[in-house]
Amino acid sequence: MGQAPDPVKVGRKYFEWYYRSADPRDFSVTSLPSREFAFSYFGEEGMRRHISFGGLEELAEHLRTAIPRHAFYSTAYYRDPGAKDMEEKGWLGADLVFDIDVDHVETPCKELHDKWICKSCGASGWGSVERCPRCGSEAIERHTWVCETCINVARDEVLKLVDFLEMDFGFSRHELLVTFSGHRGFHVHLESPEVRELSQDSRREIVDYVKGLGLDARFLTAKTRGGYKLRYEAPLGWYGRLARWALIKVGSENPVLSLSEWRSIVEESVTREAAAVDEKVTIDTKRLIRLPNSLHGKTGLKVAPFSVDELENTSIIDRAKVFTEGEVAVRLEEGPKRVLDVDLGSGGVLTLPTYAALYLLLNGAKLLKFEQR
């Protein structure tokens, strides 16, 4: 019999090793002195905010010595990023960012790793539910995990987003910084000067666009003999996407249809082509977001940066896993059946790659043993 390992002690030891051996340049952030940083530390509740650094070396030094469990920086630029008060901070602008997270997307694998427990009636089960199927309560406690399948679903959403950003908004894929969030999704950052001062209203409109929100058949079509046709026959914007789905559904790119038939094509097209971004993150111009190449304190995975091309043809998990050396013997009392790229079966005594064992430990699985081999 082993004994229950302490995630704080063990986690800190691994994180310390990582931050001590990392190349400081990995943490470089544009306009670093104008950004706010925030951290939470092992064994400490809450987050410490309003931290600023004069330069990269200072930041790297902090990571090396304070060993944060989570590290964030602001998408905003401030005159005085260390000030406590928003007014005093002096907002100067903010990157345009998108957050894609499988929390909001249905994936088949959730049955294998996610659990819910109803706080009202105590019912529980695998998978993910909005409300309790037994009593209807929305007070649900969730234990969520991530596997390769989830990450690939999220990656596909990012690629849809990239299509909008390139084809419609005219950004180049080289301007896009994509990072794995370290957990269940990705962040896409745009730092070009022209986006910095975009108002929240404009950012919201960009979100609506990539999510296909507000698409209305009445404005997309024009009346013609016998029904309605698309207002423009052009492979541009949502008109191009609708034409594509019209072709698939009814065999013509611009058929004469009733408004309600057009509505169902709009719906279909939104389901398939829209990118599932979390609007709150994009609209918020004072957001904190994970520092690239920092470690996620609930997974031990790296917030790994990717170019769009790499995203298309590299294994995300391979790039995100840090602790690939050695194995750990664990005794898993209760937990998911699959995480990352590792099958756990029904638990018990297992010998796992270090990164998988650490993930189980940090994310609160019931472990009774943790022995580095």
Partner 1 sequence: MKTELLLTTEDLRKYPFVSKAFERVRSLNLTLADLASHPLRNVIERAAAYVKAAVNGSEPPPPSDDSEEEVLAFAVALILLKAVGDRSLTRKLAVIFSRRVGRFLAGEDLSKLVYVLSELGVKARVLQAKVHGYPVAVHVLSYLESTPERAGHWKLVHRLVERGWVYVSKLEAARLGEEALKKFIERKVEEIKLDEVSMPDAVYRLVEGLSAEWGARIKELRERWAPEGLEASEDAFPPCIKAIVEDLKAGKNVPHSARFALASFLLSIGMSVDEVLEVFRAAPDFNEKIARYQVEHIAGMRGSGKKYTPYKCDNMRTLGLCVAECGVKHPLQYYWKALRRQKAPSAARGSRARRGPAEAPHLVEGDSNGPSTRPG
Please choose, from the candidates 270, 232, 273, 237, the residue with its C-alpha nearest in 3D space to the C-alpha of residue 253: 232
- Binding of partner 1 at residue 198 (CB under 8 A)? yes
* Total of residues contacting Zn ion (CB under 5 A): 12
What are the residues whose beta carbons fall under 8 Å from the beta carbon of 247, sequence distance 6 or more? 253
Which position has the token pair 């022995």?
Answer: 371
The three state secondary structure string of 114-164 is CEEEECCCCCEEECCCCCCCCCCCCCEEEECCCEHHHHHHHHHHHHHHHHH
Contacted entry of partner 1, Zn ion, none for residue 15, CB cut-off 5 to 8 Å set by kind: none
β partners of residue 72: 38, 290
Which position has the token pair 């509505």?
Answer: 263
Letters for 209-248 (x = contact with partner 1 by CB under 8 A, - = none) are x--xxxxx--xx-----------x-x-xxxx---------
End-to-end CA distance of the chain: 16
Cβ–Cβ < 8 Å for 335, 115: no
Contacted entry of Zn ion, partner 1, none for residue 171, CB cut-off 5 to 8 Å set by kind: partner 1
Contacted entry of Zn ion, partner 1, none for residue 228, CB cut-off 5 to 8 Å set by kind: none
Letters for 92-111 (x = contact with Zn ion by CB under 5 A, - = none) are -----------------x--
User: Which residue among the candidates 26, 80, 208, 278 is catalytic per the annotation?
Assistant: 278
343 in active site: no
Cβ–Cβ < 8 Å for 73, 53: no
Q: Which is nearer to partner 1, 282 or 354 (CB)?
A: 282
What are the residues whose beta carbons fall under 8 Å from the beta carbon of 42, sequence distance 6 or more? 8, 11, 12, 15, 67, 69, 297
101 in active site: yes
- Rounded CA-CA distance 335/103 in Å is 18
User: Which residue among the candidates 99, 103, 114, 284 is catalytic per the annotation?
Assistant: 99
User: Which residue among the candidates 101, 103, 114, 284 is catalytic per the annotation?
Assistant: 101
Q: Choose which of 121, 222, 247, 248 interacts with Zn ion (CB under 5 A).
A: 121
* Total of residues contacting partner 1 (CB under 8 A): 56
What are the residues whose beta carbons fall under 8 Å from the beta carbon of 205, sequence distance 6 or more? none
| Helix (H/G/I), strand (E/B), else coil: 321 | coil
Q: Which is nearer to Zn ion, 118 or 266 (CB)?
A: 118
> For partner 1, which stretch binds (CB under 8 A), given 142-150, 252-260, 277-285, 295-303?
277-285
β partners of residue 277: 100
- Binding of partner 1 at residue 253 (CB under 8 A)? no
Q: Which is nearer to partner 1, 104 or 331 (CB)?
A: 104
Could you say which residues in the range 293-352 bind partner 1, by CB under 8 A? none
Q: Which is nearer to partner 1, 159 or 349 (CB)?
A: 159
DSSP string, 206-254: HHHHHHTTT--HHHHEEEETTEEEES--SSSHHHHHHHHHHHHHHS-SS
- Binding of partner 1 at residue 194 (CB under 8 A)? yes
- Binding of Zn ion at residue 332 (CB under 5 A)? no
Contacted entry of partner 1, Zn ion, none for residue 205, CB cut-off 5 to 8 Å set by kind: partner 1
For 54, counting Cβ atoms within 10 Å of its Cβ (0-12 exposed, 13-18 middle, 19+ buried), the class is exposed
What are the residues whose beta carbons fall under 8 Å from the beta carbon of 83, sequence distance 6 or more? 50, 89, 90
23 in active site: no
Could you say which residues in the range 107-166 bind partner 1, by CB under 8 A? 138-139, 166
> For partner 1, which stretch binds (CB under 8 A), given 59-67, 193-201, 252-260, 353-361?
193-201
Q: Give CA 292 to chain center in angstroms.
A: 13
- Rounded CA-CA distance 160/367 in Å is 38
Q: Choose which of 135, 159, 222, 236 interacts with Zn ion (CB under 5 A).
A: 135
Applying CB under 8 A, the residues found at the interface with partner 1 are: 38, 47, 70, 72, 75, 85-87, 97, 99, 138-139, 166-171, 187, 194-195, 198-202, 204-209, 212-216, 219-220, 232, 234, 236-239, 278-281, 283-284, 286-290
Applying CB under 5 A, the residues found at the interface with Zn ion are: 109, 118, 120-121, 123, 132, 134-135, 137, 147, 149-150
The catalytic residue positions are: 99, 101, 278
